[in-house]
A = this chain, B = another copy of it.
């Protein structure tokens, strides 16, 4: 087993060690022929050649014509009419980015056709053919038709221009701005390949806490260089737009969105960008949120702000993604309610090319949150999903947590807004309210780490996000299996146990960090480790005590009618069901209710007992992960095996730290003994409270 640094991600093209499988491929593929001359078609054929030669160990010839056993690549319009005719009904089923992968017989020649409406579709189909081989699937009778269900499938990089990454735990920004536009790093190309292989078609290069500097001509030249690398891979670039840019990067006295000069400034800026980057995607904006400037500074609304930018990019087919992550520093209302309160009244008022980007839950990327109540509540506005792939609140890059399981949980939740079956997925893919423009974003976990994501299993979260962005109805377990096979090994003895480990890993982190609906009790600022005791920060909703509300009587945030009534933002029957402690799912218990320590739960034990049991279960979950991993050593190269082994030790250490610190803290309120299954904590509460981590990663330098 050779050492691997993980740089190749799931695009591992090592020789397949199963001779029968290789034979099948050699029997059916001996060369390729392409129709068309687009640069996207070039990267597709180059990828196919590289993959085939690696997996099968034989050169894949380019043929001058369609011969027996050739792979035929080309978009619908470039295919010969006979082939087009044979695929007519298949092609009618796909959208502009979809593909058809089909075994055909043409003039008695057996061929495999990869086609789509566009060359990008052909590229996606090519990656699908490669994947079939990576999964060792039989390709004798290919008959695969697939199209993405969501239109804008984006990564959001919270990357600063100094290469620090806010909430980045995989080193620093892969964008080496200083050396652009001249120096094109191989990473840029491989980044585009990886994204194309899972259908991601857009990337926001810069942090939502934005710098207006990126909109100057000096930087546009650099962005252009990246856009040119990405273009053949169907990957559009987007930028974050700092709302005050007309004053900072321009010389206006205001950024008022109704001011004619401001509106003209943005139009000119958009024209300038599009002159250099004709396929520029558009802007992502965080406005009037956590100190960022926005239209409210001028007593204008989010609609005024978003529509101004939308008008600037509309002539170029650009879009604006306007984030709904807002909460006021003055408003005493439950933070969980504020985005809904502010945005829902605007439903139907945004321009056609505006998407409102909503986080999966109403607080902030916790290990578990109920779905955000805005989903389903704005039928006349396209809502874009924002997931976080980087693990800000989930142990950073040293914890193995398989996030697609969590993404799936949210996508599958039923909003009931149009009766049963009104799932979040249907809001996001536009089918629930017949939306044309649809989108989904994942906050990237990518950095300068040699393996891109720090933790080798972080790659599965990038991969899985891409797969769910393509089709939000996919099963996260199936995604885990294919990722494992492509990345490590096809051996069932490896895939089955490690797939189980991945699936369980998400509940593990919930258990050892925030079980039973607890949330946002991470230490403040960096969000590293437990900090339920923090109560001295400027804004109430920055303090963990705001979220858990522990007293001697009980713990949890009452969001029912008797409390903040955040529940009223959900449709029936959720409202009614969650309004009572008894009928609230236990996983959301302390999210919606303040519950007495002695409250008897389903298993007949008290809340206090169950809370302790969950923390203990979390630790034991990680112990099981450690054991599972040790058992599969023979299937993984030494380098990745050992790296994951070491990282699991960090995870185990930190799971125990969480259990001990949080239980000792809550014990002050419950006044009860720790159940006997909890081992004696290594340190006392004062020790845990004394820990400080000024250089925990992922903090923007300005916060130091």
Name the residue on B nearest A162 (C-beta). B695
Q: Is the CB of A182 within 8 A of B450?
A: no
How far is B444's CA from A44's CA once the two chains are assembled, in angstroms? 42
How far is B179's CA from A650's CA once the two chains are assembled, in angstroms? 8
A418 at the interface (CB under 8 A from B): no
A681 at the interface (CB under 8 A from B): no
Q: Is the CB of B183 within 8 A of A647?
A: yes
Interface residues of A in 147-176 (CB under 8 A from B): 161-164, 171-172
Partner of A646, one of B3, B178, B183, B647: B183
Give this chain's copy count. 2
From known contacts A178-B697, A213-B694, A701-B162, infer whether A183 and B653 are also in contact, taking CB-CB under 8 Å.
no
Q: Is the CB of B182 within 8 A of A650?
A: yes
Residues of B within 8 A of A184 (CB): 646
How far is B554's CA from A408's CA once the two chains are assembled, in angstroms? 73
A702 at the interface (CB under 8 A from B): yes
How far is B701's CA from A164's CA once the two chains are assembled, in angstroms? 10
How far is B693's CA from A162's CA once the two chains are assembled, in angstroms? 10
Q: Is the CB of B653 within 8 A of A182?
A: yes
Residues of B within 8 A of A650 (CB): 179, 182-183
Expressed in whole angstroms, the minimum distance between the Cβ of A194 and any Cβ of chain B is 16
Expressed in whole angstroms, the minimum distance between the Cβ of A661 and any Cβ of chain B is 16
Residue among A164, A179, A213, A650 with most chain B CB within 10 A: A179
A174-217 vs B, CB cutoff 8 Å, 1 = contact: the mask equals 00011100111111000000000000000000000000010000
Residues of B within 8 A of A696 (CB): 178
Expressed in whole angstroms, the minimum distance between the Cβ of A683 and any Cβ of chain B is 13
Residues of B within 8 A of A450 (CB): 187, 450
Name the residue on B nearest A698 (C-beta). B178
A605 at the interface (CB under 8 A from B): no
What are 27 inter-chain pairs, A to B, with CB distance below 8 A? A3-B186, A161-B695, A162-B695, A162-B699, A162-B704, A163-B695, A164-B164, A164-B701, A171-B171, A171-B448, A178-B396, A178-B697, A179-B398, A179-B647, A179-B650, A182-B646, A182-B649, A182-B650, A182-B653, A183-B643, A183-B650, A184-B646, A185-B643, A448-B448, A701-B701, A701-B704, A702-B704
> Which 8 residue pairs across A and B have the least CB separation, nearest first?
A701-B701, A161-B695, A162-B695, A182-B650, A183-B646, A172-B172, A182-B649, A448-B448
Interface of A is mostly: loop
A639 at the interface (CB under 8 A from B): yes
How far is B185's CA from A3's CA once the two chains are assembled, in angstroms? 13
Expressed in whole angstroms, the minimum distance between the Cβ of A354 and any Cβ of chain B is 30
Residues of B within 8 A of A704 (CB): 162, 701-702
Expressed in whole angstroms, the minimum distance between the Cβ of A284 and any Cβ of chain B is 20
Interface residues of A in 1-22 (CB under 8 A from B): 3, 5
How far is B702's CA from A704's CA once the two chains are assembled, in angstroms? 8
Expressed in whole angstroms, the minimum distance between the Cβ of A175 and any Cβ of chain B is 11
A635-668 vs B, CB cutoff 8 Å, 1 = contact: the mask equals 0000100010011011001000000000000000
Residues of B within 8 A of A396 (CB): 178
Name the residue on B nearest A169 (C-beta). B178
Expressed in whole angstroms, the minimum distance between the Cβ of A343 and any Cβ of chain B is 33
Interface residues of A in 606-656 (CB under 8 A from B): 639, 643, 646-647, 649-650, 653
The size bracket of the interface on A is 35 or more
Residues of B within 8 A of A177 (CB): 695
A-side residues, CB < 8 A to B, are: 3, 5, 161-164, 171-172, 177-179, 182-187, 213, 396, 398, 448, 450, 639, 643, 646-647, 649-650, 653, 694-697, 699, 701-702, 704
Name the residue on B nearest A693 (C-beta). B178
Sample of 12 further A-B pairs with CB below 8 A, known A182-B653, A186-B639: A162-B699, A162-B701, A162-B704, A163-B695, A163-B697, A178-B695, A182-B646, A182-B650, A183-B643, A183-B647, A183-B650, A450-B450
How far is B701's CA from A695's CA once the two chains are assembled, in angstroms? 12
How far is B185's CA from A213's CA once the two chains are assembled, in angstroms? 35
Residues of B within 8 A of A213 (CB): 694-695
Partner of A172, one of B183, B448, B695: B448
Expressed in whole angstroms, the minimum distance between the Cβ of A272 and any Cβ of chain B is 18
Expressed in whole angstroms, the minimum distance between the Cβ of A46 and any Cβ of chain B is 14
Residues of B within 8 A of A647 (CB): 179, 182-183
How far is B701's CA from A697's CA once the two chains are assembled, in angstroms? 14
Name the residue on B nearest A218 (C-beta). B691
Expressed in whole angstroms, the minimum distance between the Cβ of A644 and any Cβ of chain B is 10
Residue among A182, A650, A696 with most chain B CB within 10 A: A182
Expressed in whole angstroms, the minimum distance between the Cβ of A626 and any Cβ of chain B is 12
Name the residue on B nearest A3 (C-beta). B186
Residues of B within 8 A of A398 (CB): 178-179, 183
Residues of B within 8 A of A649 (CB): 182
How far is B700's CA from A702's CA once the two chains are assembled, in angstroms? 11
How far is B176's CA from A450's CA once the two chains are assembled, in angstroms? 13
Partner of A5, one of B164, B182, B186: B186
Name the residue on B nearest A161 (C-beta). B695
Residues of B within 8 A of A701 (CB): 162, 164, 701-702, 704
Residue among A171, A183, A653 with most chain B CB within 10 A: A183
How far is B639's CA from A184's CA once the two chains are assembled, in angstroms? 11
How far is B178's CA from A697's CA once the two chains are assembled, in angstroms? 7
Residues of B within 8 A of A164 (CB): 164, 701
Name the residue on B nearest A639 (C-beta). B186
Expressed in whole angstroms, the minimum distance between the Cβ of A552 and any Cβ of chain B is 34
How far is B643's CA from A694's CA once the two chains are assembled, in angstroms? 37
Name the residue on B nearest A648 (C-beta). B182
Residues of B within 8 A of A162 (CB): 695, 697, 699, 701, 704
How far is B214's CA from A428's CA once the two chains are assembled, in angstroms? 48
How far is B694's CA from A396's CA once the two chains are assembled, in angstroms? 29
How far is B171's CA from A643's CA once the two chains are assembled, in angstroms? 22
Residues of B within 8 A of A179 (CB): 398, 647, 650
How far is B184's CA from A699's CA once the two chains are assembled, in angstroms? 23
Expressed in whole angstroms, the minimum distance between the Cβ of A217 and any Cβ of chain B is 12
Residues of B within 8 A of A161 (CB): 694-695
Expressed in whole angstroms, the minimum distance between the Cβ of A655 and any Cβ of chain B is 13
How far is B549's CA from A533's CA once the two chains are assembled, in angstroms? 59
Residues of B within 8 A of A695 (CB): 161-163, 177-178, 213
Residue among A186, A649, A699 with most chain B CB within 10 A: A186
How far is B699's CA from A161's CA once the two chains are assembled, in angstroms? 13
How far is B643's CA from A541's CA once the two chains are assembled, in angstroms? 49
How far is B364's CA from A649's CA once the two chains are assembled, in angstroms? 45
